[in-house]
Amino acid sequence: MFTGIISDLGEIIDVEEKAEGLRRITVACSYDPESIDIGASIACSGICLTVVARGRTGNRSSFAVDAAAETLRMTTAADWRRGTRLNLERALRMGDELGGHLVSGHVDGIAELIARDDFVDMAGLWFRAPTELARFIAPKGSVALDGVSLTVNEVKGGTFSVLIIPHTLKVTTFGALEVGARLNIEVDQMARYAARLLEASQPR
């Protein structure tokens, strides 16, 4: 589990095809490699991935993860290349502060940035959600975009907006986002369960 509070900006330094439908991705980061356990989970732009190697590449710390066929099909990981920057978050530990909202790292689909309004040190972003996910997104509700916990401002049909504060622009990939960007989206788990309970209560 994660909270959607980004703790580092990583950069992909290698992408290797390991087998059909499997890619090994090496990410440079500022984490102490000795603190990263093999088998640990790290959310990479919202995708929960398992660490398979760790160490140092040049003068930078790094870790490697494997992205399987389903991950490549459902997320933006298929587009990742050397130089791609990723929002990173270590897995939540018991006793950690829950500063965002509960995020599983199981991406539901891909949202597209359709409009950006820049204000003084802030940005208003409008996204188009996949049709099947739009019903889970509500004003003042939570959503995770590329692993970042955000509060929904407005909803219009299949589109929704969020306001990005100066700190988030500085410590995540959001500062460089341009219209047309594709982001991993995970809807709020509470909204998903509420919808499922409502469906189950309907007469058949």
Note down the domain range covering 26: 8-90
Quick count: other Cβ atoms within 10 Å of Cβ 7? Answer: 16
Half-sphere exposure of 33 (CA within 13 A, CB side): 15
Task: To the nearest 10°, report the CA torsion of 120, 125, 81, 52.
Answer: 100
Which tokens go with 83?
């130089």
Asked, for residue 3, whether it belongs to a domain, the answer is no
Residue 36 shares a structural domain with residue 115: no
Question: In this structure, is residue 157 part of a structural domain?
Answer: yes
CA 188, CA 104: separation in Å to the nearest integer?
9
Q: According to the model, what pLDDT value does residue 189 have?
A: 76
Q: Are residues 82 and 115 in the same domain?
A: no
User: Does one domain contain both 38 and 80?
Assistant: yes
| 121 lies in the same domain as 73 | no
* One domain, residues 190 and 151: yes
Number of separate domains in the chain: 2
For residues 17 and 65, state if they share a domain.
Answer: yes
Q: Are residues 53 and 126 in the same domain?
A: no
Judge residue 24's burial from the number of C-beta atoms within 10 Å of its C-beta, 0-12 exposed, 13-18 middle, 19 or more buried. middle
Q: What is the DSSP string of 186-200?
A: EE-HHHHHHHHHHHH
Q: Which residue type does 93 have?
A: R
Residue 100 inside a domain? The answer is no
Instruction: Kindly give the pairing relationship between strand 123-128 and strand 60-67.
Output: unpaired
* Spatial separation of the C-alpha atoms in residues 28 and 13, rounded to whole Å: 6
113 and 195 both lie in a single domain = yes
DSSP-derived secondary structure for 69-92: HHHHHHSGGGG--TT-EEEEEEPP
CA-CA distance, 189 to 153, in Å (whole number)?
A: 18
The Cα 99–Cα 102 span in angstroms is 9
Q: What is the pLDDT of residue 130?
A: 95
User: Are 75 and 21 part of one and the same domain?
Assistant: yes
The answer to whether residue 22 is domain-embedded is: yes
Boundary of a domain, candidates 90, 120, 142 = 90
User: What pLDDT score does 204 carry?
Assistant: 65
Q: Domain check: are 24 and 52 in the same one?
A: yes
Which CATH number characterizes residue 76's domain?
A: 2.40.30.20
8 Å CB contact between 68 and 36: no
Q: Is residue 47 part of a domain?
A: yes
- 32 in any annotated domain: yes
Last residue of a domain, one of 33, 60, 90: 90
Based on C-alpha coordinates, what's the Rg of the chain?
A: 17
The tens place of each residue's pLDDT in the chain, 204 residues long, gives: 899 999 999 999 999 998 888 999 999 999 999 999 999 999 999 999 999 999 998 888 999 999 999 999 999 999 999 999 999 999 987 767 777 788 999 999 999 999 999 999 899 999 999 999 999 999 999 999 999 999 999 999 999 999 999 999 999 999 999 999 999 999 987 766 666 666 666 666
